[in-house]
Structure 1
């Protein structure tokens, strides 16, 4: 085990007020270019569905996903809270519900304020100045624009000729390079790198989906950002390998991507169909819910295969 991760707080080249980080590399021109190549007849839904009992981070003290009804047809007729009377309420059947969940449940994106170093998040925003009693006032989920970009699948499981990488397998930079060479692709500035470990083949079995994740080593994280990516994704819960390989940092990949590099992280993405069909390059369209100040948000990524 190495001793130090040496992760720093990054300063944005786009100015002291910037909250977009690497997403500044996404432009109207880059979005139009990839959309012009997209085949809308071949769309892959990369998200998972939400349900009571789904795998979540309860072991870390976070709440499980919960849904309950606040209005039912029978209850509305009995309660008459809208004051229109029983006859109308039995004719107009009203249902409504409430959801309670940790913002990092299921397929989601991490905001730049999710992790920091020494009290600071990306671009030097501090807890003393920018963290209120309810949420951060900088780097929240509402700052993340709709992502329309070239997505590139790095199929590490296929490279290793396994259905799923072993627990705690540390993906190296060389693994990433070899996977791309095998797929006859290169990463380009403005891309979203999506790492296939095979974990989602076991969803929703929490015993096999969560814990001791195979994922990116810190070396691989640094190599990916050197290619100019605007976001990174994986089909497991933290993108990076777990447990940490560094004694001084329990999630160095998070600190590196989010705090040092300003690269949002997308987690628990279902990449099984893309891997099965050999779709390694695609148009990615994804947008988080605009939860002001939140450290993360549910996300529904869609991948459109590219025209031949």
Structure 2
């Protein structure tokens, strides 16, 4: 085992991936009511530890903008991002929706708007109810017993704590000496270990691990969505078994597309969410921290608490360590 990735036996008991069985939803070692999986590794001690060595003088924003025409996952017919005005200053003078006087509408320039989008637009997290096996999701919750007419009753993003943890960047594209990995390149164990060695980076249980493929150099062209280089199941298992609490990337799907598996069109999603109890972060803007060669940092991200949703927007930020 790579010395930079050693996990002792006591820590293995806290890592859900060691309880996983192939293509079966894992029962959580954190109890029958667990809905957050590896995020249990965040506690008062871990938060205090990372805050104590954080340099807050520089902050890097890892999120992308939301805008009409933005790239996204539309392969299954889900709606793209839309925004429209619900009130405009001149419109209020004409429509007078507030039943105000003409003088008041002229004085108070009122603008308002609304949005509509798939919950997996832009920089976002995937929760455990997003993918499972045979009608079941992480920790044995089932569509039969826990899915209502509108949303899941279990494992929604409202259950996630704010994620404040050590973060690690694996710049796989740079390790290969390219700006962007080739289409459909699979990131497995060999790539990860070579990247760790090249960067001199150490993985630790409790890390948020972010993979750079270079796909954000294509953003916002729609080619960003086609045949994405990304993590394969072997690579996902490697990171999960070394204690990652969330795994993310700068691409559309985190994982390699199209899938290399005949029956499973999202093998990394199903593995991480249903088997390993590791939430996913997608479409992270990693170019700035890659340019700075910032391979270790304090990560902070909190998702919108959309009750019962399968995903939610997140605005992650990172800061260097002292």
TM-score range, shorter chain: over 0.9
1:238 corresponds in structure 2 to 253
1:127 corresponds in structure 2 to 143
1:183 is aligned, of 199, 223, 228, to: 199
1:284 corresponds in structure 2 to 299
Select between 77-86 and 258-267 the one with higher mean Cα deviation: 77-86
Contact residue 73 and residue 252 of structure 2 kept, 8 A: no
Distance in 2 (CA, whole Å) between partners of 1:22 and 1:8 is 17
Question: What is the alpha-carbon root mean square deviation over aligned residues?
Answer: 1.1
Select between 158-167 and 175-184 the one with higher mean Cα deviation: 175-184
TM-score, normalising length from structure 2?
A: 0.92
* Residues 1:225 and 2:240 are matched in the alignment: yes
Taking the TM superposition and a 5 Å limit, the aligned residue runs for 1:191-270 are 191-207=207-223, 209-270=224-285
Taking the TM superposition and a 5 Å limit, the aligned residue runs for 1:65-104 are 65-104=81-120
Distance in 2 (CA, whole Å) between partners of 1:169 and 1:186 is 24
Distance in 1 (CA, whole Å) between partners of 2:73 and 2:243 is 31
Distance in 1 (CA, whole Å) between partners of 2:265 and 2:203 is 28
Question: Deviation digits for residues 251-306 of structure 1, max 9, x if unmatched?
Answer: 01000000111110000101011111100001011011000000000110101011
Contact residue 72 and residue 252 of structure 2 kept, 8 A: no
Question: Deviation digits for residues 134-154 of structure 1, max 9, x if unmatched?
Answer: 010001111111110111001
* Residues 1:39 and 2:55 are matched in the alignment: yes
Contact residue 200 and residue 270 of structure 1 kept, 8 A: yes
Distance in 2 (CA, whole Å) between partners of 1:59 and 1:127 is 23
Distance in 1 (CA, whole Å) between partners of 2:247 and 2:144 is 29
Query: Post-superposition shift, 1:60?
Result: 2.3
1:139 corresponds in structure 2 to 155
Question: Deviation digits for residues 32-58 of structure 1, max 9, x if unmatched?
Answer: 111111111111110000111111223
Query: Post-superposition shift, 1:248?
Result: 2.3
2:127 is aligned, of 102, 106, 111, to: 111
Distance in 2 (CA, whole Å) between partners of 1:256 and 1:266 is 14
Question: Deviation digits for residues 154-211 of structure 1, max 9, x if unmatched?
Answer: 110011000000000011112111111111121111100100000001111112x112
Runs of 4+ in structure 1 displaced over 3 angstroms? none
Contact residue 7 and residue 252 of structure 1 kept, 8 A: no
Q: Which runs of 5+ in 1 are unaligned?
A: none
* Residues 1:51 and 2:61 are matched in the alignment: no
2:188 is aligned, of 172, 178, 185, to: 172
Aligned residues: 302
Query: Post-superposition shift, 1:84?
Result: 2.1
Distance in 1 (CA, whole Å) between partners of 2:109 and 2:52 is 44
1:30 is aligned, of 40, 46, 49, to: 46
